[in-house]
Chain A
Amino acid sequence: MSEIAAAGVRPAWRSRLGAGAEAARGAPDARRLLQLTLAGIWLLDGVLQYQAFMYSKDFTDMLSGTASGNPGVVAHPVTWNATLVQHHLVLLNTIFATIQVLLGLGIAWRPTVRVALAASIAWALGVWWFGEGLGMVLTDSASPVNGAPGAVILYALLAVLLWPADRDPAAPFVAARAVGAQVARALWLVLWLSLAWFALLPGTRAPQALHDMIAGMEDGEPGWLAALDRGAASLVAHQGLAASVVLAAALVIVAAGVCLPVPYAKGALVLAIVIAAVIWVFGEAFGVILTGGGTDPNSGPLLALLALAYWPAAAGADDRKAAP
């Protein structure tokens, strides 16, 4: 803020100070930038949780709806949670929203980054089970296009990968710094291969499944986004199997990307970001935020953020041509 940099200071001095400060500014730490992005998404989540929709019966219906198709061990806690929220909707939803706002602010506030990241993992796991029915991954309807394996589990994964520790100081990419390159690559493989698997489930590969999934996002959206959805839906009409196979193949390529030499790895990560963007716009309609009923931006931005965490580090890249 200019009032800070130059309060009570003559313009000439101010300009000199400004130039000096600019020159002294180092490049921001990549991991911190990713943490801040995660913090921003948590803060956005918290703000979204304050919407009027979340204080209505529609929200509890949405919660209880995630029990459908899940085994009892998952469904019963989901139903119990939905009933509890229904009985104390105002209080609990306000607590939910405030917790998410605090998680975002806590990650952004440096002294509390570890506490907030740890709390975000616990919170995300709880919401994944009690609020999202494990992202429906145990049902036939899980699809990467509609947000499987559940956006909230990606928050937990990111919190682990962006944990402010340096187990591997010479890590080839940010995500490896806290857990090591091998573990980070294993987590990447599990995530993207599972997405490929979900893409081939009956709920996605049926002739009209993808069409219906995308077309179903139109309700309540602005005209231009509804038109985009209609166009995308018509492209995959009666092409569910072919589209699913293409999507699964692309996801497998992305999964394998982190094990490839740097140039190919970068290509795979760019592909991951493109897929995440396509899913976010066409499959998730920006997390239906524009309808006033979105609880979070859904998985698209988180998948892209994850891809950035695996981007090969520039320093020492020559020594790590084999893999990012």
Chain B
Amino acid sequence: MIPSWILDTFAAIMLVVAAVSAARLVAARPWQRGARPAALADIDVAHLLMAIAMAGMLAPGLQTLPDGAWEVIFAAMTAWFAYRVARDAQASGVRALAGGHCAPHLIHAGAMLYMFVAVSAPMAHGSGGMSGMGGGGMSGMGTLSLPFLAFLFTLVLVGYSIWDLDQLSGPGASGHYSLAVARVAPPGPVLAGVGAPAGPGAAAVLTEPASPPVVAETIEEAPGVPPASAPADGTGVLAPWVATSCRIAMGVTMAFMLIIMI
């Protein structure tokens, strides 16, 4: 039996993610016209909902909605991100699946849906589905049918988390949300700082901030950015690395949950 304090710790991390995601939504004011593209708010909404759901799965005291409601929510979320991935794929081909922006969220939403649909009740308490945690299962949680699917989801989630962490800590191959870039970039939509090329010694080189000329060039590529969007484009709680950190935390926690429910 996994000690409950470990589950509680992960639940607490998810509550932090939920709080940060809520703060991002409030700060971005997506309901205001022109404040932020509506399509971007969906990611914070997804983070918020997934974090709340996972906290409830990990700690029974944090349950909010019945399992059926979560199934509907995550089915809709999966369909939405599948649509966005398909749209990205039309624009940039299969690259959207491997390195696109929505594919990780599609996997996250799909994994959540799978966990709610495929779980069987814990052995002892059996209060039904995911909400029966703290019961008599080996992990205190239910077990998942189709364990190989759980394994596959875990591999993909771990892969995305590792990739995100790499990108977060250096420009890398597509470092438009790296901390290194964030340190040198002025406030504004300077988010595609593409720095040092990968290559021999890249691990050392890529920890350096992107060179200013590259950043400046990127700025010039962004005409007509509405000034009103300044709070929404990468500072404070809206900084790109915040969302990426949330995604890493959720990915690792989700992988943890999938594995302990096999």
Contacts and interface: CB of A to CB of B under 8 A. Distances in A.
Contacts of A47: 154, 158, 252, 255-256, 259
Contacts of A224: 148
A1 B43 contact: yes
A88 interface: no
A1 B243 contact: yes
Interface stretch (B64-72, B126-134, B227-235): B227-235
Interface string A287-322: 001111000000000000000000000000000000
B204 A164 contact: yes
Nearest to A101: B252
A73 interface: no
B158 A9 contact: no
A9 B200 contact: no
Contact of B3 (A1, A4, A40, A55): A55
Given A5-B101, A52-B139, A110-B206, A222 B148 contact: yes
Contact of A164 (B147, B151, B201): B201
Interface in B213-238: 218, 221-226, 229-230, 232-234, 238
Contacts of A118: none
Contacts of B13: none
A13 B161 contact: no
Interface residues of B, number: 80
B172 interface: yes
Contact of B222 (A17, A28, A51, A291): A17
B229 A28 contact: no
Interface in A207-240: 222, 224-225
State the main secondary structure of chain A at its contact with B.
helix
B22 interface: no
B147 A290 contact: yes
Interface stretch (B33-41, B49-57, B110-118): B33-41
A39 B234 CA distance: 28
Closest 9 CB pairs of A and B: A8-B229, A4-B240, A29-B198, A52-B138, A2-B101, A8-B233, A164-B203, A24-B194, A108-B165
Interface of B: 1-3, 6, 28, 35-37, 39-40, 43-44, 91-92, 95, 101-102, 104, 137-140, 143, 147-148, 151, 154-155, 158-159, 161-163, 165-166, 168-170, 172-174, 176-177, 189, 191-192, 194, 197-204, 206-207, 218, 221-226, 229-230, 232-234, 238, 240, 243-244, 247, 252, 255-256, 259-260, 262
